[in-house]
Amino acid sequence: MTKIKTMKLISLILIAFILFSFTQNKEEKLEINVKNLCGAYGGDEETENAHFGIYEDVIYYPDADLELKYELRKDTIITIDSEKNMGKWLILKLTTDSLVFYDINYDLKTSLNRRKK
């Protein structure tokens, strides 16, 4: 192969790589509000159920068939169960593809994938 053909091949591969990277879906950081928070979240979408779904005023846990009312206060989700136990999740990151929160009660950081609609 000549130098010119090699350079053309390398250039073509580089251009293809750049075009491919621009066409990929980039996760977009979202403002924390009820509308953007609504959705189903879980781990591996291929092998697991969603851990929970967030709706306008409830969080639904499908495995336990349990609904908890919640309030969103700025960047914190507050839940109160039927026994009056309060839960607090500090939202660290909300994107089109994921939710990362810190469970204040359990001192636990959790990263979940947002399920595709």
Enumerate domains of the chain plus CATH numbers. Answer: 26-114 (2.40.128)
How does DSSP assign 64-106, residue by residue?
Answer: TTEEEEEEEETTEEEEE-TT--EEEEEEEEEBSSEEEEEETTT
Q: How confident is the model at residue 27 (pLDDT cuts 50, 70, 90)?
A: confident
Predicted structure pTM score = 0.74
Q: Per-residue pLDDT tens for 98-107?
A: 999 999 999 9
